[in-house]
Amino acid sequence: MNGTTGTPIPGHIKIAVEGEPIRSLGALIGNKIGQIEPWSRILEKIDSNLDQWSKSHPTMEGQHLIILMVIGAMTQYFVKVQGMPKIVEQKLEKRICSFFWAEKTKTTINCQTIYAPKELGGYNLLDIEARNEAIGLMWL
């Protein structure tokens, strides 16, 4: 019942309980929800997509484009409205490296090097941390 008028709240209106996130303009908001909770569904979708793409055995250039398309696209807006916790950043960086080097038996180049531009001997791979910092700077 509505306390001021005594009329019942319509059944189609959902009232979220403590700890239950609700989506508003793309962001998950609510009382007592963890920072990682909103990201778990996105991480699952990214893993599923990358697993599907890996079955086609893409070239290194293909892997580069898939990383941009899947990880970059699926996270960019959510980073803008929600922010990304460091632990999620680290998980994505690890997932990028494992996808990029998936079928290589020996990797002689570390992941930090492949983030560098091609002119500097890198592969210009999506650097999640740098991208997130740039998004944060845009707020300023």
Each residue's pLDDT tens digit, 112-135: 778 888 888 777 888 898 888 898
The lowest-confidence range among 13-27, 67-81, 94-108 is: 13-27
- Measured CA to CA, the distance from residue 88 to residue 92 in angstroms comes to 6
pTM greater than 0.75 (yes/no): no
Q: How far is CA 5 from CA 16, 91, 99, 116, in A?
A: 22, 50, 58, 63
Residue 90 predicted with pLDDT over 90: yes
Which residues are bridge partners to 22 per DSSP?
29
Q: Take residue 4 and report the two structure tokens written for it.
A: 């001021």
Give start and end residues of each alpha helix (H) in 4-127.
37-54, 60-67, 73-82, 86-100, 111-114
Mean pLDDT of 94-115: 77
Q: Give the model's confidence band at 38: pLDDT under 50 very low, under 70 low, under 90 confident, else very high.
A: confident
Q: Give the model's confidence band at 40: pLDDT under 50 very low, under 70 low, under 90 confident, else very high.
A: confident
